[in-house]
């Protein structure tokens, strides 16, 4: 085991938010408020967890964190658009050496309790983590067994969730490994959006596929063909920026341009690779694009039957590393919730007012000042294979524009 992986395993038990709270406990209220403003954009108000939801969390060992994000100001003409947004992060339920059916069914049983708790909390729209109904086996590069988790858009997992969606009038974003029956069984990394009536509203396929570390996903599926799909659900217009797509500001921008009010980022990422970036990217996207973002990551360390390597010089190993959870929501003004646990199955519920989107955009004027034609020209030129960036230097002086004098 390399020193880096060993260090990551040791850090897996740490709860960074709790460490932060411990550090500021002894500070004055003024200093505490200032620290929370700098780190989180302010402080979210707690929401009382219902008795039914609390009983479920205690019985089935998952935490619930619930917050109310205050609106910038109360408007005179528009009624509030209060929406409760949810996110679920979880570990796998049984060993990866168990049968496909046993693994999938165990995850169904685990998530069902958490979704019921979300429903009891009055959640309107909720998103699960990337490929939630299976282990994240794409590090192994093995096809046998793991490909059996793939299913059609309207497959058994979607049908299972549709019943819960209908019962609680709750939109459920369902990330799965898709088998495209219209394209000779081709595999995609896909999210299925189930509206509050239990009907499938549509689907979106992962836009950016990583080729870094143990993320050997291109062995299984390639880039999707549904960029920046926005779904008008019963409660809000939502987009889904799957996992690796969060590293691309242009990708986040696409959802905003197409009218998204909430953008979910269902992910599976490990501490050794991405944790320093985690609290930054989705929060920046919320600020830059003037919408709500929800970053969701799975939890735990998943060990596989066979050792694997990824051509990165590390010794062969049987696990991906620690999936550090830490899911959170950010408002358009930069206010974010505290993270969920790094080590526990958890449910996040956050109540927001979608009117805040326009309020923040009115304040900062980003839609008016973003200069889209300037960027469109650059992106169009840069997308050509023969494009070469031009810089100004002594050997390549800047071209001066001719100034034509006005006629007197």
Instruction: Give me the chain's average pLDDT, please.
Output: 93
> Is 382 part of any domain?
no
- Contact (CB, 8 A) for 196 and 171: yes
- Helix (H), strand (E) at residue 126: strand 125-127
User: Residue 251's domain spans which residues?
Assistant: 3-369
pLDDT reading at 3 higher than 60:
no
Question: What per-residue confidence (pLDDT) applies to 402?
Answer: 65
Say which CATH number the domain at 210 has. 3.60.110.10
pLDDT digits (tens, 9 = 90+) for 56-76: 999 999 999 999 999 888 999
pLDDT digits (tens, 9 = 90+) for 111-159: 999 999 999 999 999 999 999 999 999 999 999 999 999 999 999 999 9
CA distances from 169 to 80, 260, 315 (A): 20, 21, 49
Total structural domains in the chain?
1
> Is 155 part of any domain?
yes
Q: Return the exposure string of 241-278: e unless at least 16 CB atoms fall within 10 Å of the residue's CB, then b.
A: bbbbbbeeeebbbbbbeeebbbbbbbbbbbbbbbbeeb
> Is 398 part of any domain?
no
- Contact (CB, 8 A) for 230 and 260: yes
> Is 374 part of any domain?
no
- Helix (H), strand (E) at residue 203: strand 200-205
Helix, strand or coil for residue 89?
A: strand
Reported residue count of the chain is: 408
> Is 78 part of any domain?
yes
Looking only at the bridges linking them, the beta strands covering 82-89 and 346-353 are antiparallel
Nearest to 165 by CA among 185, 137, 193: 193
| Cα–Cα distance for residue pair 320/272, rounded to 1 Å | 10
Q: Over range 366-379, report the average pLDDT.
A: 95
pLDDT digits (tens, 9 = 90+) for 332-371: 999 999 999 999 999 999 999 999 999 999 999 999 999 9
pLDDT digits (tens, 9 = 90+) for 232-264: 999 999 999 999 999 999 999 999 999 999 999
- Contact (CB, 8 A) for 231 and 193: yes
Helix, strand or coil for residue 129?
A: coil
pTM to 2 decimals?
0.94
| Cα–Cα distance for residue pair 41/337, rounded to 1 Å | 9
| Cα–Cα distance for residue pair 228/171, rounded to 1 Å | 19
Helix, strand or coil for residue 285?
A: helix
> Is 163 part of any domain?
yes
> Is 328 part of any domain?
yes
Nearest to 95 by CA among 246, 255, 300, 260: 300
Question: What per-residue confidence (pLDDT) applies to 230?
Answer: 98
Quickly count: other Cβ atoms within 10 Å of residue 128's Cβ.
28
Q: List, by residue number, the catalytic residues.
A: 130, 206, 243
> Is 154 part of any domain?
yes
């Amino acid at each position: 085991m390399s020193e880096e992986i060993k260090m990551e395993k040791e850090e897996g038990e740490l709860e960074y938010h709790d460490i932060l709270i411990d550090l500021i406990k002894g500070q004055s209220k003024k200093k505490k408020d200032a620290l929370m403003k700098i780190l989180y954009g302010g402080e979210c108000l707690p929401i009382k967890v219902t008795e039914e939801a609390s009983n479920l969390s205690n019985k089935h060992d998952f935490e619930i964190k619930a917050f109310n994000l205050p609106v910038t100001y109360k408007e005179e003409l528009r009624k509030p658009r209060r929406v409760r947004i949810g996110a679920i992060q979880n570990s796998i339920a049984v060993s990866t050496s168990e049968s496909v059916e046993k693994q999938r069914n165990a995850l169904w049983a685990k998530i069902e309790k958490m979704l019921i708790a979300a429903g009891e909390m009055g959640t309107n729209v909720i998103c699960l983590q990337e490929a939630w109904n299976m282990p994240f086996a794409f590090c192994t590069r093995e096809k046998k067994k793991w490909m059996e988790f793939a299913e059609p858009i309207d497959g058994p997992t979607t049908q299972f969730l549709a019943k819960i969606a209908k019962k609680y009038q709750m939109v459920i974003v369902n990330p799965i490994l898709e088998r495209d029956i219209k394209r000779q069984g081709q595999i995609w990394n896909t999210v299925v959006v189930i509206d509050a009536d239990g009907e499938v509203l549509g689907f979106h396929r992962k836009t950016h596929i990583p080729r870094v570390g143990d993320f050997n996903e291109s062995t299984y599926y390639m880039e999707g063909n549904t960029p920046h799909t926005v779904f008008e659900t019963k409660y809000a217009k939502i987009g889904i920026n799957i996992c690796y797509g969060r590293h691309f500001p242009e990708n986040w921008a696409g959802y905003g341009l197409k009218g998204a009010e909430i953008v979910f980022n269902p992910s599976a990422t490990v501490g050794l690779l991405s944790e320093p970036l985690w609290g930054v990217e989705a929060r920046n996207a919320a600020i830059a694009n003037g919408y709500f973002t929800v970053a969701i990551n799975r939890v735990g360390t998943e060990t596989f039957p066979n050792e694997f390597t990824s051509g990165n010089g590390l010794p062969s190993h049987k696990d991906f590393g620690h999936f550090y959870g830490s899911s959170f929501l950010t408002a358009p003004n930069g206010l974010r919730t505290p993270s969920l646990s790094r080590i526990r199955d958890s449910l996040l519920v956050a109540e927001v007012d979608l009117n805040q989107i326009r309020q923040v955009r009115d304040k900062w004027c980003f839609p008016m000042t973003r200069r889209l034609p300037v960027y469109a020209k650059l992106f169009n030129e840069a997308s050509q294979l023969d494009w070469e960036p031009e810089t100004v230097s002594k050997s390549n002086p800047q071209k001066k524009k001719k100034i034509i004098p006005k006629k007197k």
